[in-house]
């Protein structure tokens, strides 16, 4: 099913319209796969109904979302804790807007650009502490994080699983981070949008808010069916905020600026959480095989490096030894990757391997040619 080549140029979308036709796009984080059939059927049925009046979040959707979260992350959440928002990025902005003008934000780098754009958008200082390589994967530098916490720091923006790099933080790592956050009395905004795309069989997604009561009460967890079921264009996500006062602050910070989620987004989310499990299982299997191809490609080129990619369909490739701008190099050979510089990762590229294997092979062949033509 994931092998099917689907023409996306015939419909409006960001990924396939950024570059000329000669370029294969492998940048923005959506996949070239059809959503699960149960989602497509539910959307058809809802469209056929024909009346599209104002629509809120149904109890049924809340119930299936809670059941999914309990089953997959062993986290018991209450429907009252949910605030539906059109996207995870808007929720990050809403969270930064909650802070007082003098308060500042801490995060890590390299990172998905909105982690430093959201604080700036809300006129807040942001410090991004680089991750470090440890035992073959990217992880926190706890000492550097502690040193970076200034008296004005009030919020830690966490990305787990991590984009880019694909680290799935362990219970020990999250507990250690949690201790630092508690010592300095910070809030956490935890973006867990990639939680369902774990490719490493040894890894397990742990919502940081599920670790203990204290962390639950200082954390805004952001989740969505968008990456999981490839429905990002339906703009449906939610914040889970167990603490009632924090939830009210978040809602007040939205201040009537978020009109809620479109009814088709709500329809798709319910169908996906209810019936998308088999599709998701098959997707993860397919992505793992794609990752093997990417890893084999990197292994062939000693000037490239890829650490342990535990999650996501986004490979974070270290090209610093090439001595040229890798984004430009690969683009000139017909591959449109994400430029590491945009993530504060100069010399890296991010390759989206959420595509049919035939497309991925073509992408890797073009990259191979680019490297063969680039002298040592």
338 part of the interface to ligand PLP, by CB under 6 A: no
Q: Contact letters (x/-) for ligand PLP, 75-114, by CB under 6 A?
A: ------------xxx----------------------x--
Other residues' Cβ atoms within 10 Å of the Cβ of residue 64? 18
Which ranges of the chain does DSSP label H, i.e. alpha helix? 37-49, 59-73, 88-98, 114-121, 142-148, 171-183, 213-217, 244-254, 263-275, 277-300, 326-332, 357-372
Size of the site for ligand PLP (CB under 6 A): 13
Chain centre to alpha carbon of residue 151: 29
Is 315 an interacting residue with respect to ligand PLP (CB under 6 A)? no
The torsion angle over the Cα atoms of residues 40, 45, 51 and 53, rounded to 10 degrees, is -50
Distance CA 327, CA 171 (A): 35
Which CB sits closer to ligand PLP, 30 or 173? 30
Which residues within the stretch 159-178 sit at the binding site for ligand PLP (CB under 6 A)?
Answer: 159, 163
Give CA torsion, residues 155, 160, 165, 171, to 10 deg. Answer: 110
- Is there a cis peptide before residue 127, judged by omega within 30 degrees of 0? no
If binding is defined by CB under 6 A, does position 66 make contact with ligand PLP? no
- DSSP annotation of 131 reads P
| CB 231, min distance to ligand PLP, A | 10
* Residue 62 touches ligand PLP, criterion: CB under 6 A: no
Asked whether the beta carbons of 114 and 128 are under 8 A apart, the reply is no
Residue closer to ligand PLP by CB (options 269, 371) is 269
Q: Rule CB under 6 A: choose which of 237, 267, 290, 310 binds ligand PLP.
A: 237
Which is closer to ligand PLP, CB of 229 or CB of 322?
Answer: 229
Only one of the segments 95-103, 211-219, 224-232, 241-249 lies at the binding site for ligand PLP (rule: CB under 6 A); that segment is 224-232
The residue ranges that bind ligand PLP (CB under 6 A) are 29, 87-89, 112, 159, 163, 191, 193, 224, 226, 232, 237
């Amino acid at each position: 099913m994931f092998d099917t080549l689907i023409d996306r140029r015939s419909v409006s979308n960001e990924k396939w319209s950024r570059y000329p036709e000669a370029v294969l796009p492998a940048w923005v984080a959506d996949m070239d796969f059809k959503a699960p059939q149960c989602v497509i059927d539910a959307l058809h049925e809802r469209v056929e109904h024909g009346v599209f009046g104002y629509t809120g979040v149904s109890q049924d959707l809340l119930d299936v979302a809670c059941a999914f979260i309990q089953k997959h992350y062993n986290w018991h959440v209450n429907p009252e804790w949910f605030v539906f928002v059109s996207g995870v990025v808007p929720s990050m902005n809403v969270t930064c807007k909650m802070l007082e003008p003098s308060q500042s934000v801490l995060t890590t780098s390299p990172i998905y650009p909105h982690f430093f754009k959201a604080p700036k958008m809300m006129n807040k200082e942001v410090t991004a502490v680089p991750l470090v390589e440890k035992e073959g994967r990217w992880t926190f530098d706890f000492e550097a994080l502690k040193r970076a916490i200034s008296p004005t720091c009030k919020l830690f923006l966490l990305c787990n699983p991590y984009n880019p790099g694909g680290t799935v933080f362990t219970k020990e790592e999250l507990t250690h981070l949690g201790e630092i956050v508690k010592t300095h009395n910070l809030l956490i905004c935890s973006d867990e949008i990639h939680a369902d795309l774990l490719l490493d069989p040894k890894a397990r997604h742990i919502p940081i808010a599920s670790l203990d009561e204290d962390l639950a009460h200082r954390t805004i967890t952001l989740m969505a069916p968008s990456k999981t079921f490839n429905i990002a264009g339906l703009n449906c996500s939610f914040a889970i905020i167990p603490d009632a006062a924090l939830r009210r602050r978040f809602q007040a910070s939205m201040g009537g600026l978020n009109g809620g989620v479109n009814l088709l987004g709500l329809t798709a989310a319910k169908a996906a959480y209810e019936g998308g499990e088999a599709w998701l299982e098959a997707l993860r299997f397919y992505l793992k095989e794609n990752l093997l191809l990417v890893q084999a490609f990197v292994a062939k080129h000693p000037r490239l490096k890829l650490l342990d990619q535990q999650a996501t369909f986004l490979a974070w490739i270290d090209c610093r030894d090439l001595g040229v701008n890798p984004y430009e190099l690969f683009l000139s050979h017909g591959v449109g990757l994400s430029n590491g510089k945009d993530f504060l990762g100069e010399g890296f590229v991010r390759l989206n391997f959420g595509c049919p294997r035939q497309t991925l092979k073509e992408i890797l062949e073009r990259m191979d040619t680019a490297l063969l033509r680039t002298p040592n």
